[in-house]
Structure 1
């Protein structure tokens, strides 16, 4: 599990020097990127002549499985000028929102065949290419399909007249407060697990059912960890509203995934198309680590939440920049405070 730390600058001068250094670094990286894309056609031609392999073959054979390979494949496909490849990419883009996992895999097979024909890659001479490239394509468009699934759950608003919605809400209470019985549907008891008022339905407006589904998954799959985090939220000096913070972290997870910032994690966590369970586990990791980060930051009050969350998100983004990053919920260390 990645350790998240906050770096505080001792003085304003140190902060200005660091900002200048970051600016120069970014400028240098942009210059190198410009040079690469300018000379890219020549580089590709030279390497093709020298290695007798196309760019996609070199990536699949030379890069380790996971984000390191898949992100390069994704970039190569985005820059492809071949008409048949771009047409197949458009088909995948149009179908991915509504297709099933089986239909996605069938589309992946078509993409693999399209590339192999366009690049004149013979299966007999390159028996591993179809499998390696196919895994990358499934990850790329599986991630895009996951965004559609997450978005659909987010836009589905909590409905108190929907018995399934109500059942999940009561289940959340039972998992977090197994020794306490709810007095009624609308009660101040909901504040014990971090909702703002007497009726939790109003707190789900921003993230819809996605907020409830995330909280429920965390509480059911990692019940011991969730209840310890809940106990931390009741701390007399560093407490916070468990459910509200959880919904805010749903928003953070949603933003990271939709913006493509979380690709590194999802490309490393599975060789196949990521499922909604992978998103829930990503959320659980964020919640568990945020709780640790919050306590270690020793906030003066809940009013420090925005500042601490911004620091936490910046640290997560920094970790996600590494191709080897993968967040796992294995072997959770539950700390008592």
Structure 2
């Protein structure tokens, strides 16, 4: 009975809030002479703050035209905006800025949805050793990370030198599919100096304190081995695939909208997603060093802590993660 009453109260509160909100929107429309979409576009600067509010407003609408506006084909955006303007009785001649602002918002909203579909398609595409394109990408990754070092064989322990677990990298792509490989190649190509430095760091030994008692009981050679018996880092490629999973989860959950709406004046693309991956790789490497874990067994703890930090940053609607991009203030005022 107690649970039933709680459910009744929650349902009543929901409908109460909906009714109050619709009443407030009606009052604001009468007082300002502007519909909700106009108020959002005119009172918010370009970027995530504005696009997120437009998206919420459209999805919450009772009108089917407005509800489906967030899922239209990019080529149909202009026609959709014309229909919205007509539905809201907005004069295009006296309100030219509204259609321009709505177009910018819808390009971002629809583009984000299409980006998630593209990323999901890559994730679901399994690595195929019989696919020449897949094999070429894998060999390109080797050449970018090990310049001047020939790969002795396709199946080789050499792959461990760039952070794969075994002698055949294809087994490591099972979780993220081709998306993991695409991101690694993009990072190694576009941020080559950074990728090479991180790879080098991940292979460096990690010094630890050895007491005098330990030193007295061991030879000089054994002491040197004890002093540098742990790696500073991790398996580069495996962590890259893991960070791909992290970026994928941020994208699918919608958390990455804040960043992408602030850095992509129009439609977010795979290019934006992969640059975000590059940023996350660089930031995770710095975070890993700051955390100073004892060994790789602490990876999940460090990753979880890093993920929470990124999520917290993305709660700020002005946040643009990548330093390569300007924040929303730098966007064209569409």
Contact 1:68 1:323 in 2 (8 A): yes
Equivalent residue, structure 1, for 2:169: 200
C-alpha deviation, 1:282, in angstroms: 0.8
Q: Is residue 72 from structure 1 mapped to residue 41 from structure 2 by the alignment?
A: no
Equivalent residue, structure 2, for 1:324: 318
Equivalent residue, structure 2, for 1:85: 66
Contact 1:85 1:118 in 2 (8 A): no
CA deviation profile, 1:235-293 (whole Å, cap 9, x unmatched): 21222000000000101111110111110001001111111101101111111100000
Give the alignment's TM-score, normalised by structure 2.
0.83
Q: 1:183 aligns with which of 141, 146, 152?
A: 152
CA deviation profile, 1:172-227 (whole Å, cap 9, x unmatched): 01111103111111111100100000000000011110000000000000100111
With over 3 angstroms needed to count, the CA separation of the structure-2 counterparts of 1:305 and 1:111, relative to structure 1, is same
Contact 2:127 2:170 in 1 (8 A): yes
**Counterpart mapping for 1:273-284 below 5 A:** 273-284=267-278
**Counterpart mapping for 1:33-182 below 5 A:** 37-86=18-67, 88-89=68-69, 93=71, 96=73, 104=74, 106-182=75-151
C-alpha deviation, 1:317, in angstroms: 0.2
Q: Distance in 1 between matches of 2:19 and 2:161?
A: 59
- Secondary structure in 2 matching 1:161: coil
Contact 2:124 2:176 in 1 (8 A): yes
C-alpha deviation, 1:33, in angstroms: 9.6
Query: Which is worse superposed, 230-239 or 204-213?
Result: 230-239
Q: Root-mean-square deviation (CA), in Å? A: 1.7
CA deviation profile, 1:46-105 (whole Å, cap 9, x unmatched): 11111101000010011010000000000110111124333x43xx63x65xxxxxxx1x
Q: Distance in 2 between matches of 1:256 and 1:182?
A: 35
Structure 2 residues not aligned, in runs of 5+: 1-12, 207-231, 326-334
The runs of 4+ residues in structure 1 deviating greater than 3 Å are 32-38
In the alignment of these two chains, the number of paired residues is 288
Q: 1:240 aligns with which of 234, 238, 253?
A: 234
Equivalent residue, structure 1, for 2:187: 218
Q: Distance in 1 between matches of 2:324 and 2:110?
A: 27
Q: Is residue 228 from structure 1 mapped to residue 197 from structure 2 by the alignment?
A: yes
- Secondary structure in 1 matching 2:205: coil
Q: Distance in 1 between matches of 2:269 and 2:14?
A: 33
Q: Distance in 1 between matches of 2:247 and 2:88?
A: 38
With over 3 angstroms needed to count, the CA separation of the structure-2 counterparts of 1:195 and 1:107, relative to structure 1, is same
Q: 1:295 aligns with which of 289, 297, 320?
A: 289
Equivalent residue, structure 2, for 1:253: 247
